[in-house]
């Protein structure tokens, strides 16, 4: 049970850090004067959102046994 709590904490911290990156990238995008810099900031925004989605998907797959790749397999310890 402690492992799950530890993982939840790690995912929470990761999501917070990605949120900070996202916020800074959005600010840069809004304040950029030239199109090249704005485009690069937009790429960071997109990547941060993708990373947040990936972290959410990993967390979901770890906590919902129905979607885990090893779901339904019988372990040798059973």
Ordered DSSP codes for the chain: -HHHHHHHHHHHHHHHHHHHHHHHHHHHHHH-SSHHHHHHHHHHHHHHHHHHHHHHHHHHHHH-GGGSTTTTPPPTT-
Between residues 71 and 59, the one the model is more confident about: 59
Mean pLDDT value across the chain: 85
Domain boundary assignment for the chain: 6-61
pLDDT tops 80 at residue 49: yes
Tens digits of residue pLDDT in 7-25? 888 999 999 999 999 999 9
Q: What is the pLDDT of residue 76?
A: 47
């Amino acid at each position: 049970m402690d492992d799950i709590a530890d993982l939840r904490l790690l995912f929470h911290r990761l999501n917070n850090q990605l949120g900070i990156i996202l916020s800074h990238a959005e600010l840069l995008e809004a304040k950029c004067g030239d199109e090249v810099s704005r485009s690069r900031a937009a790429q960071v925004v997109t990547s941060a959102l993708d990373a947040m989605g990936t972290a959410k998907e990993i967390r979901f797959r770890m906590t919902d046994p129905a979607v885990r790749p090893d779901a339904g397999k019988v372990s040798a310890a059973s």
